[in-house]
Structure 1
Amino acid sequence: MIEYDLKKNNNKKNEKAYGKYYAKPHISETVDLDELADHMHGHNSPFSAGTIKGILIDAVTHIKELLLMGKNVKLDNLAIFYISIKNKMGAENADDFTVSKNIEGVRMKARATGDFRSVNLNLDANLKKYGAKKKKSSTTTDTETTTPSGDTGKSESGSTTNPGSGSEGDGLE
């Protein structure tokens, strides 16, 4: 379940968005490597949480090493990690270009791939406003949820349906 907060855009430079409300994900916590390893171990893994953590630490170290060698790293169904260069300013010509004068730094970025692409996440995501009260009916007490495609995530019988209808989202990603 993804909970969201509504935030008012107060940036006057963007006239179309100024004063309008937009959904932002409500993040209740950030899971670190220890918690991720424990979570993975809890899913019937034959490996201990310590072994899983060691593998994750090694993966992080080697992903950084490969990125600094100028390679992209793809973790199927998660992301392609890559390096980008943040330029300070352009040089008038190629001979005037220097790293110290024209480059501010490098950044690691990630682009979703496979199951984590927006089109696939939209099908799996259930959204609920943070702090929303539970709706009560005569037969059930349940929290109403909605997918990015507008489905409520409930069938007429009240059971959860597969969210989404193949919608590509609203373009606000």
Structure 2
Amino acid sequence: MRASIVGILVLLCAVCVSCVHAAAYIKFDGVDGESTSSDDPHKEWIPILSSSLTSVQGPFRLSFLASAKTMRLVQHLVARERLTEVVIEFVQDDETPQNKSDNCALPYLRYELKDVLISSYSVSGAASGVPTEEVAFNYAVVQGTFYEVDSDCTSSRPAQAFSAMNQ
């Protein structure tokens, strides 16, 4: 059973990594983000620069641009306060010079994490530009769903899903 769950997770991550044009957003319970996304479903979510989940048991790691609102994550880390839920969505982003308006706000991959504890936080930067924050967190329950989105991006349906408890 565990091998099949890990296999499904690896498949879902591989699909996400192979997508050339994708955007990802995260919503921490009680922590608003500063998404400037034009698609309404992800308003006040945090846009993700990169993410990594190597196994169902491992921590979920992600990075994003630093902002005043995400400093609440540091507060949760220091106080060891658990977050009830964290949601991560990967959406199609086909905005290219030839194709400026074909963004699809419907997620094709969604993770829901329950009983989340932030385990590490780091910030890095260079002489210019906005610093990058990296957060790692552990969770008690993870649910993943891969959706098939129709060609005109008006509807989607679950194609594959899993749920696992982290022990």
**TM range, normalised to the smaller chain?**
under 0.3
If each structure's strand is expressed as a fraction of its own residues, which one has the higher value?
2
Query: What TM-score, normalized by structure 2, do the two folds share?
Result: 0.26
Larger Rg over CA atoms: 1
Which structure has the higher relative contact order (CA within 8 Å, separation 6+)? 2
Query: What TM-score, normalized by structure 1, do the two folds share?
Result: 0.26
If each structure's helix is expressed as a fraction of its own residues, which one has the higher value?
1
